[in-house]
Amino acid sequence: MAGVTTASEVTHGTVVFTDIVGFTEYTALRGDEEALVLLSTQERLVRETLPADARIVKELGDGLLLWFADACDALRTSFRLQERFDQESSESMLPLWVRVGIHSGRQTRRGDDLVGHDVNVAARVVDVASPGEVLLSKATLDQIGDRLDGFAFEELGPVVMKGIPDPVPLYRALAPA
Amino acid sequence: MGDEPIVIPVPGTAELHLLTRSGAVEVRAEERADVVIESGAPSEHRIESDATGRIKLPSAKGGSAKLVLRCPMGSDVVVGTISGDVDLHGQLGAVRVTTVSGSIRVERAEALDARSVAGHIEIDHCSGQCRLQTKSGRAVCNGAGSAQVSTISGQIKLGETAGTVRAQSASGAVEVDMRSAGDVKVRTMSGPVRVAVPRDVRPSTSLHSLSGRPRSECEEGNDCEIRVQSLSGRIEVLPS
């Protein structure tokens, strides 16, 4: 658009999407106030767990978009989060049934937000995950390489995703025993 | 591409990687020593195969053609599709299927990971770990070594489970028929839960519901652990 300039900056890192499974049903069942408690509990646990060089980019309804400089930090933190969500769910009967999708690549800053193809792919990765699960793309696995001891990865195969031209190879991450 | 079947010899079993967008996928495992692509194959240069029996192909017509294949029993199958239905017959090895709106049917597998957003998933028998996920579709497995199943609104029905069971649904009903002593953990929001326990098994039960009425008619013991949590769903643990 003539006369309008947009400040944008390309960055490289790892995007993590979280998504509370069944949030709509929970809100219908328990009401808005309890739904807000669920959301704020998720956010509190995430803020307490994020390493210093990671950040919450934005809230997306019942999910969060997180950014990490390092793919290993992203995976480790995702597992730590799942542990804390599970612990909270068991202790309080608050259904923090969260699924996590991770994808690494190129992102474009738009103010505090991140946009771009690789952000869209990460959003599709979380759609495939089950509650309590951490899925990651091959791009993230390649960045992790052999830098993480103990973690195992099960190949789910190339996943065909709506709106993404090429199939994305996905892996299910398993925490160290 | 003509209608002539394509025959690819394989050493023992095959490892099939099949991709479509809207095209359905049908695979039939039987006693044979080759893979036959009966229809839906792309041009031959898009079919990758190697000496280990690993075969990769997308379906023809930009992924809209129906893929029909025959393969040796015990073959591993990986399928990725957006809206194609997936139908796998015969005894297969490790099976992994992801689809957005297609339904998934598997007759027999050694291990299984099947995920659909809106489609139904129906499994006859999985001798090992059976992992199923669908949001609004129904997830049914008539027999599994162990099972891990989640839905949002879809019903979960697990029959003849032998090992551990993990089932989770927001509003879908969950039914588990245990064949032998194995730990069972079920979580729902509003979905009712029914666990049928063999008469000779005495489980340790932990049943929690905020507003529903947990009911167990099984004699307590330590043969296995049954843990059920529901916000408002009815919970029943009954001898079968």
Q: What is the pLDDT of residues B87-137, one digit of tens each?
A: 999 999 999 999 989 999 999 999 999 999 889 999 999 999 999 999 999
Mean pLDDT of A148-159: 92
Are residues B29 and B90 both part of a single domain? Answer: yes
Q: Are residues B62 and B166 in the same domain?
A: no
Among candidate residues B94, B119, B144, the one where a domain is terminated: B119
Burial of B55 from C-beta contacts in 10 A (0-12 / 13-18 / 19+):
buried
CB B211 within 8 A of CB B232: yes
Residue A3: is its pLDDT beyond 50? no
**How many Å from the N-terminal Cα to the C-terminal Cα in chain A?**
55
Please check whether residues B167 and B126 belong to one and the same domain: yes
| Cβ contacts of A156 on chain B, cutoff 8 Å | 96, 98, 113, 115
Neighbours of B39 (CB within 10 A): 17
Q: Alpha helices of B113-172 — where are they, by DSSP H?
A: none
**Shared domain check, B142 and B70:** no
Minimal CA separation from A157 to chain B, in Å: 6
Query: Would you state the pLDDT for residue A7?
Result: 56
Q: In which domain, by residue range, is B55 found?
A: 1-119
Please report the pLDDT score of residue A5 as a whole number.
45
pLDDT on residue A6: 56
Query: What is d(CA B168, CA B148) in angstroms, rounded to the nearest whole number?
Result: 8
Residue that is last in its domain, among B97, B119, B141? B119
Same domain? For B88 and B124 the reply is: no
- Check B152 against A21: CB less than 8 A apart: yes
Instruction: Flag whether pLDDT at A1 surpasses 70.
Output: no
The lowest-confidence range among A120-124, A147-151, A169-173, B106-110 is A147-151
Per the structure, the count of domains in chain B is 2
Tell me, yes or no, whether B23 and B79 share the same domain: yes
Question: What domains lie within chain A, and their CATH numbers?
Answer: 9-174 (3.30.70.1230)
What percent of chain A stands above pLDDT 90?
84
Which of B19, B131, B190 has the CB atom closest to A158's CB atom?
Answer: B19
Asked whether residue A2 carries a pLDDT value surpassing 50, the answer given is: no
Which chain A residues touch B150 with a CB distance below 8 Å? 21, 130-131
CA distances from B48 to A26, A113, B22, B58, B224 (A): 46, 41, 21, 10, 47
Same domain, B125 and B235: yes
ipTM: 0.88
State the smallest CA–CA distance between residue B10 and chain A in angstroms.
Answer: 21
- Give the pLDDT confidence of A76-118 residue by residue, as tens digits: 999 999 999 999 998 888 999 999 999 999 999 999 999 999 9
Flag if A128 and B170 touch (Cβ within 8 Å): no
Same domain, B196 and B235: yes
B128–chain A nearest CA distance, Å: 15
B6 and B114 share a domain?
yes
* B92, β-bridge pairs: B109
Residues B76 and B37 in one domain: yes
Q: Which of B67, B89, B119 is the last residue of a domain?
A: B119
Same domain membership, residue B74 and residue B187: no
Helix, strand or coil for residue B157? strand
The predicted pLDDT at position A176 comes to 83
Q: Do A127 and B117 touch (CB under 8 A)?
A: yes
**Are both B1 and B114 inside the same structural domain?**
yes
Quote the minimal CA–CA distance from A159 to chain B in Å: 5
CB atoms A156 and B98 under 8 Å: yes
Count of CB pairs separated by less than 8 Å, A with B: 76
